[in-house]
Amino acid sequence: MESGDLAEVSRRIRCLQRKLRRRRVKEDAQQGFLSPKMASSALMVYVFSGHDLDMAAQFLAFKLRLADDRMEDMRCMFEQVYTQEPTPQIVDLMNDRCLMTRSLRVMTAACTFILQRRLYTWLCQQNCKHGVAPSRLQMVRRALALVPLECPLEVQASVAASLRSSARQQRKWLRRFRQVWGARLGVLKNISSLSPQDMQEKAFAYFRWVNGALAQSAKAPLIINMDEASVAFHLSGLVGTVLKTGPFTSLRPGDSVKLSAHRGALTYIASICDDPTVNDLLPQILLGNPHQFVLRTIRAVQSELPANIFLWREESSWNNARIMQKYIDLLCSRLGGILEERTVFLVVDMAACHIQPSVHSHALEQGVRMILIPAGMTAVLQPLDVYVFSQFRSKMQELWLDCKGAAEDGEVTLALWLKVVSNAIQLIIAGKNWRRAFQRVGLMSGQSLLSAKILEALGWSSCPAVPEILPAVGQAVLAEELKNLKDQKKSLREAMKKNKMDRQSAKRRESRLVKVHCATPACVMPFYVEAGRQAALHSRFEALGRSEGES
C-alpha cells in the first residue's frame, strides 16, 4: 500500500472515531448523562457568563446539536449537573486558582462560546430589528465589547488577541463564526414594511376592484401596465474579470468616466400589455432633460430608432401629471381603432404623478380606465416589477458592455447609448409575449393562475374566491388608511379655505392703500398707507417740512 493510500485510510479512521464519539455523547445526553469534560465546560460557561442558566443550556444544545425545542431539557440536565458538582470545584471557577486546576484551552473555548453567542444575539437584532448588515469593523468592535469580564484575565487576553490582530486574521475569525452560526456575507434583502394581514387585505381589495372593472366592460378588455424605471448612462460596479498583474506601462486597469455620465440617469416609461399583437404598438419613452438630451443628437438618432420608441426632451427627467396626460394622448394615437373595439385598462402604481385628478379625468375623456395598484404592493402585483424590469436590466448590461468594449477608447456616446437602450427594449419589452405575466399576478383569469411566489408573499395557500363586484371605499382601503385620507381631506379643505380668506383680505387691503410721497428737504419718501389716514399724514409731513426749513 502506498503512503498516500495509508494516509487516506488513517484520515477516514479518525473521522469515523470522531463521529462515534459524538454519537455516544449525544446518546448519553438523551439518556440524561454527560461526560465529565462536557459537564465541566458547561459549568465554566455558567460561571463565566455571570450565572446565566440559559447560556449554559444553549451551550449544551449547541455541543449536542439539538434543536431549540430541547432547551427546557437542557436546563433540567444542567441543573442536575450543577447540584452534583462538588462545591470546592465550583468555587475554584470563581477565582484565579481556576488557572492552576483547569486547562487554559478549555476555558478559552468556554469564553469564546459566550462571546460568539452574545455576538449572534446582537447580530439577530441588527438584521431583523434595525435592518443593518454589520461590516467587519463593526463586528470586531462589538465582539471586543462582548468579551465576558468574569473570565480570568489571561483568558480574556487570549480571546481578544485574535480580534485585535490584522485584518486578514479578523476575516478568518469572522469566516469561522459565519460557518458555525449559520451566517453569510451578503446584502440584506428589502422586505415590505406591511404586515401580512395588511398585504392580504390590500391584495383582496385590489383583486376585487380588477374583477369588478373587467366584469363591467361591455367590450373585450385590453390591460396595459405602465411604470417608470431609472436607466443610468454609465453602468458602473459590474462584476467581471480584472487583471491583477500584467505588462502594464503607463496605463492601469480602470474605467475613466466623466462625473456627469457617472451620476446621470434618465427615466424610461415602459408599457406592456396582455395581447402580443398590440404589444409592439405601445409607446416606449425615454425621458430626459436638456442637459442630458442634446437636441442635435436626438434629432439625428430619432430617425434610426424603431417607431415605438420616443425621445422626449423636457425640463426635467422626472415624470409629472402633464407628461402623464401627454403619454395618454400618445397611447391613444398609437392604438387608433383598437379603442373602439376594446376597453383599455391602464394599470399603474400609486406614484404622485399617477393619482392626480387631472390625469384620471383626461384618461376618461380619451376612453382609458385607470386601475391603481395599492401602495407598497408593486413588488408583488405589478407585472413590470415582478417579471420585466429584471430581464431588461440584465440585457441592458450585456449590450452596454459589448458596446463599450467595441467603442473607440471605451467611450459610449449619447447616440450609441440610445441605440443600446433601444435594442434592449426591442429584445425584452416589445419582442416578447407578456400574457403569462399578467395571469401570474392576478390581472387575468380571475386569480386562478397566481404564482406560488406571490401566494407565499401574501401568506395564502391558495387565492380565496374574489367577487366580481367593485368594492366600496371602505373596502378598497384599510381602516387606518381611510382615516388618514379623511384627515388629509379635512386639512386640505381647511388650508384651501384659509388661503382663500387670505387672498380676499389681501385684495381688500390693496384697495384701501394709496401711494403717498413725503417731500422733505432731505429726501422724497414713498409710503403705502390707508386712505383714511391720508389727510392726517399730509399735515404731519407739511409741518415736518416747515420745521426743517426754519432750522
- Decide: 385 and 232 in contact? Cβ < 8 Å: no
461 assigned to some structural domain? yes
Whether residues 207 and 171 fall in one domain: no
DSSP strand pairing (524-530 vs 513-519): antiparallel
Low-confidence ranges of the chain (pLDDT < 50): 31-32, 97, 100-101, 514-533, 551
CB atoms under 10 Å from CB of 215, counted, come to: 13
**CATH classification at residue 375:** 3.30.420.10
Whether residues 333 and 411 fall in one domain: yes
Range(s) of the domain holding residue 518: 512-550
Whether residues 396 and 437 fall in one domain: yes
530 assigned to some structural domain? yes
Whether residues 76 and 121 fall in one domain: yes
246 assigned to some structural domain? no
Select from 461, 477, 493 the last residue of a domain.
477
Shortest CA distance to 372 belongs to which of 227, 535, 544, 513?
227
pLDDT of the residue at 248: 64
Q: Residue 456: enclosing H or E segment and its boundaries?
A: helix 452-458
Whether residues 155 and 275 fall in one domain: no
493 assigned to some structural domain? no
Select from 455, 477, 499 the last residue of a domain.
477
Shortest CA distance to 383 belongs to which of 550, 270, 214?
270
- Decide: 256 and 409 in contact? Cβ < 8 Å: no
328 assigned to some structural domain? yes
pLDDT of the residue at 461: 87
Cα-based distances in Å from 498 to 493, 495, 507: 9, 5, 14
Whether residues 217 and 144 fall in one domain: no
Whether residues 428 and 308 fall in one domain: yes
pLDDT of the residue at 243: 78
Shortest CA distance to 338 belongs to which of 219, 422, 514, 200?
219
Cα-based distances in Å from 494 to 93, 212, 278: 72, 35, 47
Shortest CA distance to 386 belongs to which of 422, 331, 349, 426?
349
Select from 462, 477, 492 the last residue of a domain.
477
Whether residues 89 and 168 fall in one domain: yes
Whether residues 366 and 456 fall in one domain: yes
226 assigned to some structural domain? yes
Write down the H helix ranges in 257-356: 259-263, 276-279, 295-302, 321-335, 338-341
Please enumerate in sequence order all residues whose Cβ is within 8 A of that of 287, keeping only pairs 6 or more positions apart, or say none. 266, 267, 268, 269, 312, 314, 317, 318, 319, 323
Whether residues 335 and 389 fall in one domain: yes
492 assigned to some structural domain? no
Whether residues 165 and 222 fall in one domain: no
Whether residues 229 and 372 fall in one domain: yes
Shortest CA distance to 147 belongs to which of 7, 42, 48, 60?
48
242 assigned to some structural domain? no
pLDDT of the residue at 76: 78
The pTM of the full predicted model, rounded to 2 decimals, is 0.67
Number of independent structural domains in the chain: 3
As a whole number of angstroms, the distance between CA 205 and CA 471 comes to 7
CB atoms under 10 Å from CB of 102, counted, come to: 19
Express each pLDDT in 205-257 by its tens digit. 899 989 988 988 889 999 999 999 999 888 877 778 887 776 766 677 777 76
